[in-house]
Every structure is written in structure tokens, then in C-alpha cells.
Amino acid sequence: MYRYPAFSFRREGDKSYAYDLLTIDLEYNKEGDCNLCKASPNSSKAVVQKKDLSLCFSKDGRMSSIQSDSESQRVFKIVGKVSMLILNHILKLS
């Protein structure tokens, strides 16, 4: 298991702009495929899914979003640049 911590993000429309942390765990099955990662059909984006969360990254790591399927589909935007280590790993899956 690989753990990539500390995505800082804020809620859309949140006047306080409070920062929270999100940790992604990447688990691999016996074939070496990542169980929590999925490359999207669009080659310019990559998606990580964990439980009810979906994270979408552009190739440059700047235009990103986090969408939760629970609690009225709240959408989050990642602040700052996504770690290239994570991004490169995800893009290899496409």
C-alpha cells in the first residue's frame, strides 16, 4: 500500500476558505493493478476513485477537482499543484 497525504482543498463557495487534508491510499492487487485508481477515457485527465470520492486531475496537475457522491454531490477544488509523483503514477494507468 502506498499513501499519499495532504491534499489541501477548499469547498466551492466557502467564505472561510478553510483548508482540510485528504489522504489517498493506493492498494495493488496480485496483478499489480491499482484498485483505487482509474484512468478516464479522456487522455488529458486522470481519475482516482476511493469509496465515494472521485478526484480528477489534468495532465499539468493544475485543474483538479474532488467530487463526493455523498452529502449532496459537494465539489471540492484542490489548491496548488498536485504532486507530480501521484500524477505520473495515475497517467501510467491510461
Q: What is the mean pLDDT of each run of 10 residues along the chain (94 residues)?
A: 38 40 42 43 42 47 44 35 48 48
In this predicted structure, what is the pLDDT of residue 75? Answer: 34
- Residue 65's domain spans which residues? 2-92
- DSSP-assigned letter for residue 79: -
- Give the SS3 label for residue 68: strand
Number of domains in the chain: 1
Residues 6+ apart with CB under 8 A from 7: 21, 22, 23, 24, 55, 66, 78, 82
